[in-house]
């Protein structure tokens, strides 16, 4: 066996079960602060996924540090016909981050590859 001189620890990213998270939100979105009676659950899905994706890619940062750039990222990552008003989208993003940070997500685990609904589009917006 050779010498082990240059072993470096690698960063681990967070992963979650997005299907389980969407089931969670489907069951309680009507009681959430961001819900409007004019909006169906399926209309929230792209923004929920965007919120989780931004967390998965940026969880080592504080959300307040990223908010200024998130609106531009949202406009690039989410197709226009799926976007919500930015005020609502920002509230949803905050809720997804809060859920992850408080360990309330359905299946947090360690991995090296985040699960993203449109990783390429989101990274291009960064």
- Residue 120 falls inside a structural domain: yes
Write the CA distances from 39 to 59, 61, 79, integer angstroms: 28, 31, 17
Cα 78 to chain center, whole Å? Answer: 12
The answer to the question of residue 10 being in a domain is: no
Cα angle: 35, vertex 74, 41; to 5 degrees: 30
What integer pLDDT is reported at residue 68 of this predicted model?
A: 87
Alpha carbons 113 and 95: distance in angstroms, whole number: 23
Mean pLDDT, 10 residues at a time, the chain of 126 residues: 41 73 95 93 98 91 92 96 96 95 60 45 56
How many structural domains is the chain composed of?
A: 1
| pLDDT value of position 103 | 78
- 98 in a structural domain: yes
- End-to-end CA, the chain: 43
Residue 114 belongs to domain spanning: 15-32+43-124
- Look up tokens 């226009």; give the residue: 80
pLDDT score of 6: 43
């Amino acid at each position: 066996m050779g010498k082990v001189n240059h072993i470096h620890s690698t960063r681990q990213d967070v992963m979650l079960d997005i299907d389980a998270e969407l089931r969670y939100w489907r069951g309680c979105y009507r009681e959430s602060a961001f819900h409007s009676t004019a909006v169906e659950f399926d209309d929230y899905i792209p923004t929920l996924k965007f919120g989780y994706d931004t967390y998965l890619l940026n969880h080592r940062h504080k959300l307040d540090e990223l908010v200024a750039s998130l609106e531009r990222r949202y406009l690039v990552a989410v197709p226009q016909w799926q976007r919500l008003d930015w005020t609502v989208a920002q509230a949803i993003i905050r809720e997804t981050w809060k859920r992850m940070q408080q360990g309330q997500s359905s299946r947090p685990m360690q991995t090296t590859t985040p699960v993203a609904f449109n990783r390429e589009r989101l990274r291009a917006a960064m």
